């Protein structure tokens, strides 16, 4: 458990907070590329780390992420006209470039330099892997561009989605690194969902409901190993990668694509859950992509503007009590994504961790919290860059593997946990 002060420390990410400062040390996902599909398209609202921002693609294709409100009378620039390499406020015509610099104030006399002194907060925005990424920290400490493996494969090998989740980022992350709940919450979907069914590992999941957890620190975060009994006295290991602060990669199942998440704070009571699937060695089948668009695997159907899921807390996540009673769905909610979200949102927007009663299967969660707090303090107090900033920490994989009883997973599976160009993932 965490005492109240620790819980506040690790969950608050707005400007001026220690965890907010740490998130601002990384490139983080901001928007799907498809949200700004062409030059001079309409601007898009984007709230990150409790900052209200506007994203736009100008006439030359340059990307901008700037403070939402015009410096003149604080009008939202979401109403702005995207034209001639700038975003113009419709109220009085003040115009801004992609850096947030004011470039024109129509009411000023010729020769006036007033607009040169006006600059909104602006952040770099770059495109990689179907995602627009931003860095919101000090310009002199900007890290190298992100090198997550799923962003570097051909477009046809990858599917990415995002959804608005109505709870603090940390309880969403903690669900992402908790492997023990799969045998309960998701058990009805393992053999029916097209992104999971048919894998030999599913049998091991359902045949051993008491996994043993072994968690080891990695250069970028944690290796979280969940061990279950396999055949002939061997062990089935599912090894999740957590890379600080908010990346998780879920172990693969059979020949299905590998997948994972980012959990990025929108504000302290909401987050963006980003989900990706990819294969290194072959494209995703078009029918599988369509199924993921319709909610298969770790994805769900969302409103195309707000990205709020169709199943949400206002309609009780479309829970089907009859399906729950029959055993078709253990929690009565359809789909992996909303099964997770419904449970995590049910805790409240920021769960009171002082009232928890943790057990051995929560070891990964305990170690992640400790490492987050330790790294945030080191950044604030000594200026030490946190783990996960460097691309070498991002070139990682999760793995599903069968090992002998005397083989420690952290050493026996080390080769399987590193990204290798052109090589398939290790899977069961």
Of 140-144, 196-200, 313-317, 390-394, where does mean pLDDT reach its minimum? 196-200
pLDDT of the residue at 128 = 97
Domain ranges, ordered by start, for the chain: 27-141, 149-417
The answer to whether the beta carbons of residues 254 and 199 sit under 8 Å apart is: yes
pLDDT of the residue at 416 = 96
Q: Which two tokens stand for residue 389?
A: 């900033």
Residues 6+ apart with CB under 8 A from 179: 211, 213, 224, 226, 238, 240, 364
Reported pTM = 0.94
Q: 128: closest CA among 150, 143, 99?
A: 150
| 288-321 pLDDT tens trace | 999 999 999 999 999 999 999 999 999 999 998 9
Strands (E), 205-332: 212-217, 221-229, 235-243, 247-250, 258-267, 270-278
Arithmetic mean of pLDDT, 235-244: 96
Element holding 364 (H helix, E strand):
helix 363-382
- CATH number belonging to the domain at 149-417, selected among 3.90.380.10, 3.50.50.60, 3.40.640.10, 3.30.930.10: 3.90.380.10
**pLDDT beyond 70 at 283:** yes
> What percentage of the chain carries pLDDT values higher than 90?
82
**Confidence class for position 415, pLDDT limits 50, 70, 90:** very high
Residues 6+ apart with CB under 8 A from 413: 225, 237, 239, 399, 401, 403, 426
**pLDDT beyond 70 at 419:** yes
**pLDDT beyond 70 at 180:** no
Q: Is the dihedral of CA 193, 198, 200, 203 positive or negative?
A: positive
pLDDT of the residue at 46 = 98
pLDDT of the residue at 178 = 80
Arithmetic mean of pLDDT, 186-211: 80
**Confidence class for position 94, pLDDT limits 50, 70, 90:** very high
Q: 237: closest CA among 409, 396, 426, 417?
A: 409
- 286 vs 193: which has the higher pLDDT: 286
The answer to whether the beta carbons of residues 248 and 240 sit under 8 Å apart is: yes
**pLDDT beyond 80 at 373:** yes
- 406 vs 323: which has the higher pLDDT: 406
**pLDDT beyond 90 at 427:** yes
- 291 vs 334: which has the higher pLDDT: 291
**pLDDT beyond 80 at 76:** yes
**Architecture in CATH for domain 27-141:** 3-layer Sandwich (2.102)
Q: 263: closest CA among 194, 340, 187?
A: 340
Arithmetic mean of pLDDT, 98-124: 93
| 30-66 pLDDT tens trace | 999 999 999 999 999 999 999 999 999 999 999 999 9
pLDDT of the residue at 1 = 77
């Amino acid at each position: 458990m965490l005492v109240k002060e620790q819980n506040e420390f690790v969950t608050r990410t707005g400007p001026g907070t220690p965890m907010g400062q740490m998130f601002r040390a990384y490139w983080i996902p901001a928007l799907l590329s498809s949200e700004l599909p062409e030059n001079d398209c309409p601007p898009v609202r984007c709230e990150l780390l409790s900052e209200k921002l506007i994203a736009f693609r100008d006439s030359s294709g340059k990307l901008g992420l700037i403070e939402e409100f015009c410096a003149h009378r604080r009008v939202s620039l979401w109403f702005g006209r995207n034209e001639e390499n700038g975003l113009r406020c419709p109220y009085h015509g003040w115009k801004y470039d992609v850096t947030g610099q004011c470039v024109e104030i129509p009411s000023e006399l010729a020769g006036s330099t007033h607009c040169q002194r006006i600059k909104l907060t602006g952040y770099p925005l770059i495109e990689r892997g179907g995602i627009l990424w931003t860095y919101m920290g000090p310009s002199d400490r900007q890290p190298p561009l992100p090198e997550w493996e799923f962003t570097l494969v051909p477009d046809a090998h990858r599917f990415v989605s995002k959804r608005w989740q109505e709870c603090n980022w940390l309880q969403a992350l903690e669900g992402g690194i908790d492997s023990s709940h799969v045998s309960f919450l998701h058990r009805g979907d393992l053999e029916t969902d097209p992104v999971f069914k048919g894998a030999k590992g599913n049998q091991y999941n359902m045949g051993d409901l008491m996994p043993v957890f072994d968690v080891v620190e990695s250069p970028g975060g944690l290796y979280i190993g969940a061990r279950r009994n396999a055949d002939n006295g061997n062990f089935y290991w599912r090894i999740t990668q957590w890379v600080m602060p908010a990346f998780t990669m879920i172990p693969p199942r059979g020949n299905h694509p590998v997948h994972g998440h980012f959990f990025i704070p929108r504000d302290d009571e909401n987050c963006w859950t980003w989900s990706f699937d990819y294969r290194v060695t072959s494209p995703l089948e078009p029918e599988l992509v369509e199924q993921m668009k319709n909610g298969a695997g770790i994805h769900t159907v969302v409103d195309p503007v707000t990205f709020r899921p169709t199943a949400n807390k206002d309609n009780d996540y479309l829970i089907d009590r009859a399906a729950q009673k029959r055993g078709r769905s253990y929690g009565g909610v359809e789909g992996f994504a909303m099964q997770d979200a419904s449970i995590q949102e049910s805790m409240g927007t920021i769960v009171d961790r002082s009232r928890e009663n943790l057990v051995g299967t929560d070891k990964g969660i305990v170690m992640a919290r400790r490492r987050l707090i330790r790294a945030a303090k080191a950044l604030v107090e000594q200026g030490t860059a946190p783990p996960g900033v460097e691309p070498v920490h991002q070139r990682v994989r999760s793995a599903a593997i069968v090992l002998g009883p005397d083989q420690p997973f952290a050493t026996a599976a080390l080769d399987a946990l590193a990204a290798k160009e052109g090589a398939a993932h290790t899977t069961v």
